[in-house]
Amino acid sequence: MSARRLRRQKRTSGKALWRVDTLRRVIIKFQAQSSKLKVQSNMTQEEDIKNAVECMRKGGVILYPTDTVWGIGCDATNPEAVKKVYEIKKRDDSKALICLIDSADRMARYFRNVPQVAWDFIDAAMPVKPTTIILDDANGVAHNLVAEDGSLAMRVTYEEFSKQLCYRFQKPIVSTSANVSGEPAAQNYRDISEEILNAVDYVCWTRRQEHKPHQPSSIVKIAKNGEVKVIR
């Protein structure tokens, strides 16, 4: 056998071994990912909520399904966590964010005065259609969550997952659409960009397979004197 032919066989053999080794690595990686996905896909809603709560208690940012579109969330009383949300959204912190709570009773803890008309809206409108209420004299939340005029946007959620999440967390949770400011809101998990997915600390598994239209909430501003202004 000539030296040239021998060198050619060695190169061919080397390429074959490289391909086999590469294929083996791909298979191992795929099996590991498949195993991980299988475990996570079997995660219960209770476990999902527990993981999200633990993440927020540590100052982390989550992605989660809400009563409207998918949202970016964090502890609404933690200014550093709220700052992270603004950075992920690439949004000016002068544009205040919405908070979710699990009950109307909890709302009274975060405003110095809640006009009677606000309670009427909560009782009549919120169970029918997600309705965010903006009230003056916010109290007990992160300073960078409150608008320049001292108001705060808050909504009672009646959707099962977000309601249980808020209940378990026992504090308001930031809820802003899962997109960079100026881009379309992510109605479903599949609509969330890789940029947003990679920027948060925990992504909830509940309702990931869902694919149906969702609409943002109505927004109503109620002044101290009871005057009502429809924002959206």
Q: How does DSSP assign 30-41, residue by residue? A: HHHHHHHHHHHH
Q: What is the pLDDT along the chain (232 residues), one digit of tens a residue?
A: 555 554 555 555 555 554 545 545 544 344 434 433 444 557 999 999 999 999 999 999 999 999 999 999 999 999 999 999 999 999 887 678 999 999 999 998 999 989 999 988 888 877 788 999 999 999 999 999 999 999 999 999 999 999 999 999 999 999 999 999 999 999 999 999 999 999 999 999 999 999 888 888 889 999 988 899 988 8
The whole-angstrom separation of Cα 125 and Cα 109 is: 21
User: Distance between CA atoms of 193 and 140, rounded to whole angstroms?
Assistant: 32
The phi, psi pair for 15, rounded to 5°, reads -65, -40
Determine how many CB atoms are found less than 10 A away from the CB of residue 54. Answer: 11
Using alpha carbons, list the distances in angstroms from residue 1 to 5, 16, 20: 7, 21, 27
User: Which phi and psi (to 5°) does residue 137 adopt?
Assistant: 55, 55
Task: Evaluate whether 165 touches 54 at the Cβ level (below 8 Å).
Answer: no
pLDDT, residue 232, reads 84
Task: Give the whole-angstrom CA distance, residue 223 versus residue 118.
Answer: 9
Regarding the domain delimited by 44-230, which CATH topology (the fold level of the hierarchy) does it fall under? DHBP synthase (3.90.870)
CB 175 within 8 A of CB 73: yes
Q: Is 221 helix (H, G, I), strand (E, B) or coil?
A: strand
Per-domain residue ranges for the chain? 1-42, 44-230
For residue 181, the number of C-alpha atoms closer than 13 Å in the C-beta half-sphere is 12
What global pTM score does this model have?
A: 0.80
pLDDT in tens, 17-44: 545 455 455 443 444 344 334 445 579 9
